[in-house]
Structure 1
Amino acid sequence: MRTGTPMQFYVEHLSNAHVYVFLYDSSGELLPMYPPAEGYYSYGFTRGPNFIPPGEGYFSFVPPPGAETFYIIGSIQRLFKLEQLTEIYAQNATSEGQKTLLLEEIKTMLTDNEKKSRRAENIKTGGGTHQNRR
């Protein structure tokens, strides 16, 4: 993407999935983007479209160039530990220790789920033949 290119995410809860979005920008800042408020999932799910950032806002890439990483996590189960670490970090956003704990949780979660996904994708069937009965 080029500098100044506008970007916005569209999120819609179709099957009561819990969605979490974080931006880790090129300057090393970690920004929780979604859900938009503490305790958001305590009262069910907002139906209809949700935009990140909300309304007419959008992201645009600005100098200096570097890696902008969006972590987008979806889960049927509510991720209480992730929510708790996010809330603590929001109260202590200048704390490198809190940022590290939250980033480690995000990366561990993604790595563990990737391993499970690969394991499921690599399941091999045993030998033998298969016949359809008619």
Structure 2
Amino acid sequence: MDSLDRAHGISGPFFAESAPVSLSHDRPAATAPDMLPGELDSETAALLRMVVLPQIEAASSWGDLVMRLGDKGFGLGFRAGRMILNRLDNGAEICTGRSLGAPLRGLAARLGRPALRLSRDGRSAQLQG
């Protein structure tokens, strides 16, 4: 059962099959825009590099990169100065470009600075166009 405690905040499972959640006034909660995808295990990283890196290396522009990644089922996002690889089917974030061996700085040097549209949270962005 959900409860509201004016001194400590709101706590409880908010959906039937959700884990207990606590929103406290005492400490700031980490928000999704502050979080970056975690490190990949070595096997997953190697498999992703085999599929994704050739597409990144062959891209001649940011638009070309998006098309090439899209053909493989991946998309790009940007947050906290990092490029983030995500799945197109469900939007799940997989890893940063640096985790793949393709940091944003290197891509920007080769493809030019990406034209980004800032999201409402002020911390994440998408490629324009």
With structure 1 as the length reference, what TM-score do the two structures score?
0.22
TM-score by length of 2: 0.22
